[in-house]
């Protein structure tokens, strides 16, 4: 049995209303420090647990639906969840909700650090209200892993199929005894040439039970805390593994222009199997007539907000001319094709930008000088195979003179910072809110970012006054210089 250990990407999650500071998220760097000899108290047991592993995208997404029961003599509100050290580096978007109250908001989740040298860590899930003795509650826990899938073989021919390998445990990670559980694995197709068989124990049947592209391990009778049953599966996935190592997203608000400008700068990498031979353009052109499955990234589709306009798209060489933009009252879709098909192991840095009417995203509060900006935290391409983002830096550039800036989002953040961004014709500089997130998947696409700020009338008049004063000063300077007598006269 493997020791269970915990994931590190220290995620903090939000409730559904503004906190005292106006922020729904907490910095991921905040950790609960406990003594080195810490061990989760056995205050709960898992009455029934269903572990679902979805391998239909380019990253594994897992969910644990578990009915927990308080077996202690007093009310309890702290439930601990373990992971492995590898998962510590790659886990992302971990969220916990009440399965019977899906609109009730996310539970507070915090990483526990009790021994930096140990291979065991835990997430602490704080229940909204203490659970009484012998009472039960159903938790819905979801999370994803980045860079967790490996091609096998690691290199294939240009026309060959790709197979991926994923290793997991047939027993869900748990710090508590589980009375009954099973693990369901959903594959993108029924082509699964290799998989681990779990031998039957007393009163149980051999696993997995196969039903098309779905495997079921279990159900298993009582499983002790920390138990692991390693399983490895190899399955067909002839699609790209799109990995964004860095995304820089700028949202620039202009009150005078009535415009909000978006720009996104991508560092993209395809983690699919490499090519065994040099890329053949002729072979690629021949394949295009049949449109077969491929591990290469052929195109990127950006479903933008309705009303988006004037898009642009460039890479390190220049403008990407192979594109299509459709915009009407119902949709705004941008489709671009990279300069070359991006096969496994290849990189493609590029940028995309567009404008939109500010009225669709900004509203003024009835009282005072307050404004509320509501924009998507993440947009970007929407691909059927999914996308994973290792590092996201989002910068919201507000008008010069904006103050009392607060934000709210349900996307887990690592840091938040307010600074000044200086650009053309600025005096003190524009207020800039910079948010950083790590290990994000496109399932969080279109989640809202709400920014509130005050923009006094005097601050709004600052730029036209500066422009007016500059022109008047320039006029008088030109007049004064023109009035100077610089002629050369001889003596009388």
Looking at the predicted structure, is the pLDDT value of residue 469 above 60?
Answer: yes
User: Token pair for residue 276?
Assistant: 């065994």
Residues 264-293 have a mean pLDDT of 88
State the pLDDT confidence band at 25, using cuts at 50, 70 and 90: very low
Tokens matching residue 338: 């990279």
| pLDDT, the chain, mean | 85
Q: What is the pLDDT at residue 348?
A: 93
Count of beta carbons in the 10 Å neighbourhood of residue 2: 12
Q: How far apart are CA 485 and CA 44, in angstroms?
A: 94
Average pLDDT over residues 367-377: 91
Question: What span, in angstroms and rounded, lies between the C-alpha atoms of 459 and 181?
Answer: 61
Please tell me the pTM assigned to this model. Answer: 0.83
Residue 250 has pLDDT above 80, yes or no: yes
pLDDT, one tens digit per residue, over 338-350 is: 988 999 999 999 9
Split at pLDDT 50, 70, 90, the class of 112 is confident
Predicted confidence (pLDDT) per residue in 442-461, tens digit? 999 889 999 999 887 665 55
């Amino acid at each position: 049995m493997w020791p269970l250990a915990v994931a590190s990407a220290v995620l903090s999650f939000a409730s559904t209303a503004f906190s005292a500071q106006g922020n729904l998220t907490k910095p991921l760097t905040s950790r609960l420090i406990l003594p080195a000899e810490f061990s989760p108290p056995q205050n709960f047991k898992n009455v029934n647990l269903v572990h679902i592993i979805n391998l239909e995208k380019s990253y594994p997404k897992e969910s644990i639906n578990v009915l927990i029961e308080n077996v202690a003599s007093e009310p309890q509100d702290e439930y601990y969840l373990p992971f492995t050290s590898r998962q510590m580096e790659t886990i992302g978007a971990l969220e916990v909700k009440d399965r019977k109250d899906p609109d009730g908001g996310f539970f507070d989740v915090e990483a526990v650090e009790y021994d930096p040298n140990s291979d065991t860590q835990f997430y602490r899930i704080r229940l909204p209200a203490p659970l009484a003795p012998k009472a039960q509650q159903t938790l819905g826990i979801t999370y994803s892993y980045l860079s967790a899938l490996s091609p096998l073989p690691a290199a294939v021919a240009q026309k060959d199929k790709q197979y991926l390998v994923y290793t997991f445990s047939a027993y869900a990670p748990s710090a508590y005894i589980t009375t009954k559980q099973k693990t369901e694995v959903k594959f993108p197709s029924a082509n699964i040439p290799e998989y681990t068989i779990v031998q039957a124990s007393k009163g149980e049947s051999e696993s997995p039970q196969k039903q098309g592209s779905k495997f079921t391990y279990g159900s298993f009778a009582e499983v002790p805390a920390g138990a692991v049953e390693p399983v490895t599966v190899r399955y067909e996935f002839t699609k790209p593994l799109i990995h964004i190592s860095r995304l820089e997203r700028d949202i620039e608000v202009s009150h005078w222009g009535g415009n909000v400008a978006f720009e996104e700068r991508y560092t993209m990498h395809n983690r699919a199997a490499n090519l065994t031979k040099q890329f053949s353009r002729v072979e690629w052109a021949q394949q295009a007539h049949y449109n077969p499955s491929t591990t290469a990234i052929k195109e990127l589709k950006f479903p933008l907000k309705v009303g988006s306009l004037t898009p642009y798209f460039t890479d390190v060489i220049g403008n990407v001319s192979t594109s299509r933009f459709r915009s009407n009252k119902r949709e705004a879709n941008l489709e671009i094709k990279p300069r070359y098909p991006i096969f496994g192991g290849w990189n493609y840095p590029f940028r995309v930008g567009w404008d939109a009417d500010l009225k669709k995203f900004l509203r003024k509060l009835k009282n005072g000088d307050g404004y509320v900006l509501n924009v998507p935290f993440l947009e970007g391409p929407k691909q059927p195979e999914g996308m994973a983002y290792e590092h996201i830096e989002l910068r919201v550039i507000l008008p010069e003179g904006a103050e009392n800036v607060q934000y709210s989002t349900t996307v887990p953040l690592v840091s938040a910072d307010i600074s000044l961004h200086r650009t053309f014709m600025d005096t003190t500089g524009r207020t800039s809110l910079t948010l950083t997130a790590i290990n994000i998947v496109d399932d969080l696409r279109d989640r809202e970012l709400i920014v509130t700020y005050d923009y006094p009338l005097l601050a709004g008049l600052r730029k036209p006054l500066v422009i007016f004063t500059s022109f008047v000063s320039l006029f008088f300077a030109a007049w004064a210089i023109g009035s100077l007598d610089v002629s050369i006269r001889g003596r009388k």
